[in-house]
Amino acid sequence: METQDSPGRLHLFFDTTEVTDDAKSRSVGRIGSAKLRDLSGQLGATLYVPDLVLDEAAFLRLRHLEGQIKKVKDSSKELEGYVAIHMEQEPDSRNLVGILREEIEDQLSTVPVTVIPTASVTLAEVLEMSKWRVPPFNKPDDPTGFHDAVILLASIKYAHAERLQDCIFVSSDKDFIESAVKKLGIGYGVPTRLVKGTERIIETMENLHTAHLKSLADLIVQRVTKFMNDHRSIVQTFLDEHPLKLGDFGFLYDPFPAEVVSVVVGEIEAFPEGSPGETGEYPIKLSANAVGEFLVSKVVFEAPEYAELEARPGALTEATGVENPLGLLLGLPSMGVTFPRPRIIRSPVRVEVRLKGKAKGFLREGEFVGPPEITSLEPSRLTLR
């Protein structure tokens, strides 16, 4: 097995979802995480943001502020004659969006990030993606996704121009798909992966740092990852024999799941633990994408057939089981008020989850022998600090 670190470094390109997640906040989003900043320094990773992302973030903030200004103006009319509310000068939108963009760029400079141009992206390239419905163009009859396509293309074209390797596009946008990002990158000669969100790329960076590695392109990472994916069925079997319970998951979902139906393991990332030798036991740390199917409980109200029931006196009350509930609350006479009867139903939902665990491989003269032994597997509770 190779034990030498690769000279490559991570190149991380961030989408708008990671730069702003709250129009009310003057701070940048998840990309401003101190943990991300520290790990980037430790790994020598470079962070990039297309300039269109800054524009989108600034305009998102602008629309929020314009809404607040409208509220102030509406309030001043309502309070006229009682309280004097005077707006010295209504801000010019063009000037204001420029100020907001500068604020965002100043904050990103402390991360730090490199702002890259989107001017290299041509209309023909975007239209080609739209015509063939290459994600983020996902909807057959709705070609929305122009800005998203420009941001992705700008990232890949910049990586191509700078001859960058080990490139990762970081976005929480559900319209981006891993296979499409990979295929687009290959078309430009740039190996590119999609990572869904800053939390997940931080987890990957932590695993690299723990293994004293710098890049996912490192031969050690590639070999261990291939070994685990070649034996993905072993991981799935372990999960089936040690099923996860609802309490194992730390995500929030509305409505909250009532039961775990199944968890299916997908793509696996694997990293060596410690400094294993050429022969013997090889400890492995793994992270995996998975799809969990859960049952969620919902309260539904079944409306009775009023036209039929109203023909019979008292039938509405009999059907719903409730007579004059409004009267019970307010002390009013019935006046024929009735409500449908509530019923709890369970329906399945699918949620992307992240798993983490440990395994052991076995080496003989630098080559893996036999399948891995899975020792633990649990949901990863991703947090930003």
Residue 54 domain-assigned?
A: yes
Give tens-digit pLDDT for 18-45: 998 777 888 899 999 999 999 999 999 9
Q: Is residue 308 part of a domain?
A: yes
Range of the structural domain that residue 334 is part of: 304-339
CA distances to 13, 29, 213, 221 from 208, rounded to whole Å, are 18, 24, 5, 9
CB 245: neighbour CB atoms within 10 A? Answer: 8
Which one of 164, 180, 210 terminates a domain?
Answer: 210
Average pLDDT, the chain: 84
Q: Would you say residue 262 has pLDDT above 70?
A: yes
> Backbone phi, then psi, for 101, in 5-degree steps?
-65, -40
Q: What are phi and psi of 172, to 5 degrees?
A: -100, 5
Co-location of 33 and 163 in the same domain = yes
Euclidean distance between the first and final Cα of the chain, in Å? 35
pLDDT score for 139: 74
What is the reported pLDDT for 82?
80
In the three-class reduction of DSSP (H, G, I as helix; E, B as strand; rest coil), residue 272 is classed as: strand
Per the structure, how many domains does the chain have? 3
Asked if the structure places residue 139 within a domain, the reply is: yes
Higher pLDDT, residue 317 or 357: 357
pLDDT at 48: 98
Torsion of CA 250, 252, 258, 262, to 10 degrees: -60
- Render pLDDT for 178-209 as a digit per residue (tens, 0 to 9): 999 999 999 999 999 999 999 999 999 999 99
- Domain-located, residue 2: no
Could you give the CA distance from residue 45 to residue 19 in angstroms, rounded to a whole number? Answer: 17
Same domain for 254 and 200, yes or no, is no
pLDDT category, 5, cuts 50, 70, 90?
very low
Per DSSP, 340 falls in state P
Rounded Cα–Cα distance for residues 345 and 342 (Å): 10
Q: How confident is the model at residue 217 (pLDDT cuts 50, 70, 90)?
A: confident
Q: What are phi and psi of 226, to 5 degrees?
A: -65, -40
d(CA 230, CA 355): 17
The widest CA-to-CA distance across the chain, in whole angstroms, is 89
Q: Is the model more confident about 184 or about 145?
A: 184
Asked whether residue 226 falls in the same domain as residue 196, the answer is: no
Q: Are residues 66 and 115 in the same domain?
A: yes
56 by DSSP, 3-state: which? helix
User: Which one-letter amino acid corresponds to residue 85?
Assistant: I
Residue 278 has pLDDT above 80, yes or no: no
Q: Name the token pair of 185.
A: 């990158």
Q: Give the model's pLDDT for residue 232.
A: 97
Shared domain check, 280 and 144: no
Rounded to whole angstroms, how far apart are CA atoms 196 and 296?
24
**Are 63 and 91 members of one domain?**
yes
State the pairing for strand pair 11-14/46-50: parallel
Question: With contact defined as beta carbons under 8 Å apart, do 296 and 261 qualify?
Answer: no
For residues 170 and 247, membership in a common domain is answered with no
- Quote the CA–CA distance of 195 and 193 in Å, as a whole number: 7
Q: Is residue 353 part of a domain?
A: yes
51 belongs to a structural domain: yes
Quick one: 75 and 112 in the same domain? yes
Answer with the one of 163, 187, 210 that is the final residue of a domain. 210
Does residue 283 share a domain with residue 236? yes
Length of the chain: 385
Q: Are residues 163 and 227 both part of a single domain?
A: no
Q: CA 204 to CA 198: how far, in whole Å?
A: 10
Check the CA dihedral 343-344-350-353 and report its sign: positive
Q: Is residue 66 part of a domain?
A: yes
Last residue of a domain, one of 193, 210, 227: 210
Question: DSSP class of residue 142?
Answer: B
Least confident of 1-5, 144-148, 221-225: 1-5
Q: Is the peptide bond before 283 cis (omega within 30 degrees of 0)?
A: no
Please determine, for residue 94, whether its predicted confidence score (pLDDT) is greater than 60: yes
Q: What is the pLDDT of residue 182?
A: 94
Q: Which residue carries 């996860």 as its tokens?
A: 244
Residues 189 and 276 in one domain: no
Asked whether the predicted pLDDT for residue 313 surpasses 90, the reply is: no
pLDDT bin (cut points 50, 70, 90) of residue 121 is very high
More confident of the two residues 322 and 25: 25
- Letter for the amino acid at 285? K
Q: Is pLDDT at 254 greater than 60 in this prediction?
A: no
| 384 part of a folded domain | no
Coil/strand/helix, residue 19? helix
Q: Do 170 and 251 sit in the same domain of this protein?
A: no
